[in-house]
Amino acid sequence: MPDTSVKYVAAIDQGTTSSRCIIFNQDGEIVAVDQREHRQIFPKPGWVEHDATEIWSKVQAVVAGAIAKAGLRADQLSALGITNQRETTVLWDRATGKPVHNAIVWQDTRTSALCNELGGADGQDRFRETTGLPLASYFSGPKAAWLLDNVPGLRARAERGELAFGTIDSWLIWNLTGGTNGGVHVTDVTNAGRTMLMSLETLEWDQSILSAMNIPESLLPEIRSSAEVYGTAVGQLAGVPVASALGDQQAAVFGQACYDTGTAKNTYGTGSFLLLNTGNRPVPSKNGLLTTMGYKIGSEAPVYCLEGSIAITGALVQWFRDQLGIIKTADEIETLAASVDDNGGAYIVPAFSGLFAPYWRSDARGVVTGLTRYVTKAHLARAVLEATSWQTREVVDAMYQDSGVQITTLKVDGGMTKNNLLMQHQADVLGVPVIRPRVSETTCLGAAYAAGLATGVWNDLDELKAHWQRDAEWTPAMDAGVRDREYQNWRKAVEKSFGWYADGS
């Protein structure tokens, strides 16, 4: 039976491949977890969609599952926090509550040509000063513009004020708080910051970008902080304050207690996202990173981050398993890779949908290079894992060049961090210790923390920081000469991936 004197906070993590709900107690410990996958829809090469209605059903199911497993009633939850896959774009009809098209997922490349067109003479940097982002198919604004221009009737309906735009946080909050029956249409600064429509300075929609992309403001949600009560849930969570929203990578920053300027975390999932807290001012990037929001607690000053977004890391392990069939489970890759001492000279650059940070090359495609007859599947298994650590090394180098901050330890989380060989290689190629916390579900934890701060479950960041505990640490052991030589090889391999896809779409 749950302890009735303890306060509980629920968090929903709506991710790219699955949704989960985790309930935490006041010590930040997990009480119950429920998780469900949703369909990945691939209508054409490079296109990736989700059914937002299916996502909403799965979210309701995992909330019910987690509450049941915890043996709690909704009225025992002090708050609900939301964290989500970022950039994925939903348009829905305000009157019916139904999406007007499948959601366009962050990985979808259909807007590459539109982005090239929008860039004009300024190219990728046209909106960078205002938004911190290079023009790339990754972000939501061009996805919304594409829908308005390509789905018959949508532009007229949007101009009549009949439609709503949202990233997944907005879609969930609107539904959780009543949908067509009074649902609130809001987003938080971390999600709004990934649309390429928000100014990092004012934290408001930027009129000149809206007009350049031809997006009516009436579509857009109100931008709020990441930790405040947006509304009260109805339905199975009736009465629970919906009290936080954070993009999943920013939620991991919050859950990893990266509250001090100069602290960083890397989350290793489908892709990997390394965020460095740069304090209360945005730091512009000249080296292929994103300047992005970290979080904003109520009326406090916003915190900014530099981000190195890597599109494919864990997804390369999935490809090795599912497309090549060399391993049967993701865990097997460690045993196979450990059966040899090195990569045998082979490198794999997983530019499956171009390369994100620090290159932003939509013309890149994957390469396997350095092959000789000596190379076995075990060497390739190593090359798969090393692709993750080398890509991370490149974004860490870019962080240093942009911010002058030399990362002295790296906090890590996500599904790949259970791979010891990978984590050791990561420490080796960065030359700094890599540390994993005891609660590895840092994304949900961050959303729960923010919701709990907004509702008085926790008082301040110091209290949250005290919950963080080390679980495992890997220290660098590689000879510096070997490391530098291998890094050069990696960079040569990356160059070979450029220019494979001529029109960049």
Ligand X SMILES: O=P(O)(O)OC[C@H](O)CO
Ligand Y SMILES: Nc1ncnc2c1ncn2[C@@H]1O[C@H](COP(=O)(O)OP(=O)(O)O)[C@@H](O)[C@H]1O
Where along the sequence are the contacts to ligand Y (CB under 6 A)? Answer: 15-17, 269-270, 314-315, 317-318, 330-331, 333-334, 414-416, 418-419
Whole-number Cα distances in Å, 379 to 383, 385, 418: 6, 10, 20
Is 428 labeled as ligand-binding? no
Number of helical H runs and strand E runs in the chain: 16, 21
Query: Nearest to residue 104, comparing CAs of 88, 87, 121?
Result: 88
Is 295 labeled as ligand-binding? no
Q: Among positive and negative, which fits the CA dihedral 210, 55, 271, 413?
A: positive
Is 270 labeled as ligand-binding? yes
Q: For residues 296 and 415, give the distance between their C-alpha atoms in angstroms, rounded to a whole number.
A: 27
- Provide, rounded to whole angstroms, the least separation between the CB of residue 327 and ligand Y: 10
In this chain, which stretch among 50-58, 223-231, 244-252, 359-367 interacts with ligand X, using CB under 6 A? 244-252
Q: For residues 445 and 430, give the distance between their C-alpha atoms in angstroms, rounded to a whole number.
A: 27
Contacts with ligand X by CB under 6 A: the residue count is 11
Residue 386 binds which one of ligand Y, ligand X, none, with CB within 5 to 8 A depending on kind? none
Q: Which of 12, 15, 19, 435 binds ligand X (CB under 6 A)?
A: 15
In this chain, which stretch among 80-88, 352-360, 459-467, 493-501 interacts with ligand X, using CB under 6 A? 80-88
Structure tokens that stand for 398 in this block: 């870019």
Residue 86 binds which one of ligand X, ligand Y, none, with CB within 5 to 8 A depending on kind? ligand X
Q: For residues 317 and 270, give the distance between their C-alpha atoms in angstroms, rounded to a whole number.
A: 9
**Is 439 or 457 the residue whose CB approaches ligand X more closely?**
439
Q: Which of 8, 56, 92, 106 binds ligand X (CB under 6 A)?
A: 106
Residue 416 binds which one of ligand X, ligand Y, none, with CB within 5 to 8 A depending on kind? ligand Y
In this chain, which stretch among 65-73, 85-93, 161-169, 451-459 interacts with ligand X, using CB under 6 A? 85-93
Residue 113 binds which one of ligand Y, ligand X, none, with CB within 5 to 8 A depending on kind? none
**Is 51 or 397 the residue whose CB approaches ligand Y more closely?**
51
- Provide, rounded to whole angstroms, the least separation between the CB of residue 375 and ligand X: 30
By CB atoms closer than 10 A (0-12, 13-18, 19+), residue 481 is exposed
Query: Which alpha helices (DSSP H) does 136-289 contain, by range?
Result: 140-150, 154-159, 168-176, 189-192, 207-213, 248-255
Q: Which of 175, 177, 191, 249 binds ligand X (CB under 6 A)?
A: 249
Whole-number Cα distances in Å, 212 to 100, 108, 119, 388, 409: 23, 21, 10, 36, 42
**Is 76 or 190 the residue whose CB approaches ligand X more closely?**
190
Residue 427 binds which one of ligand X, ligand Y, none, with CB within 5 to 8 A depending on kind? none
Is 359 labeled as ligand-binding? no
Residue 331 binds which one of ligand Y, ligand X, none, with CB within 5 to 8 A depending on kind? ligand Y
Query: Buried b / exposed e across 306-323, counting CB within 10 Å, b at 16+?
Result: bbbbbbbbbbbbebbbee
Structure tokens that stand for 16 in this block: 């790219």
Site map (CB under 6 A) of ligand X, residues 259-298, x = contact: ----------xx----------------------------
In this chain, which stretch among 69-77, 170-178, 245-253, 282-290 interacts with ligand X, using CB under 6 A? 245-253
**Is 16 or 131 the residue whose CB approaches ligand Y more closely?**
16
Whole-number Cα distances in Å, 313 to 52, 390, 411, 413: 25, 10, 17, 13
Residue 259 binds which one of ligand Y, ligand X, none, with CB within 5 to 8 A depending on kind? none
**Residue 232 carries which side chain, given as an amino acid letter?**
T
Is 87 labeled as ligand-binding? yes
- Provide, rounded to whole angstroms, the least separation between the CB of residue 322 and ligand Y: 9
Q: Over the Cα atoms of the chain, what is R_g? A: 22
Is position 441 an interface residue for ligand X (rule: CB under 6 A)?
no
Whole-number Cα distances in Å, 158 to 255, 307, 323: 37, 32, 41
Looking at residue 196, what DSSP letter applies? Answer: T
Residues in Cβ contact with 71 at an 8 Å cutoff, skipping those fewer than 6 apart: 1, 2
The residue number with the shortest CB distance to ligand Y is: 415
- Provide, rounded to whole angstroms, the least separation between the CB of residue 447 and ligand X: 13
Structure tokens that stand for 472 in this block: 């495992």
* Cβ–Cβ < 8 Å for 221, 166: yes
**Is 137 or 419 the residue whose CB approaches ligand Y more closely?**
419
Binding site residue list for ADP: 16, 20, 270, 314, 415, 419
> Which positions lie near ligand X, rule CB under 6 A?
15-16, 85-87, 106, 247-249, 269-270
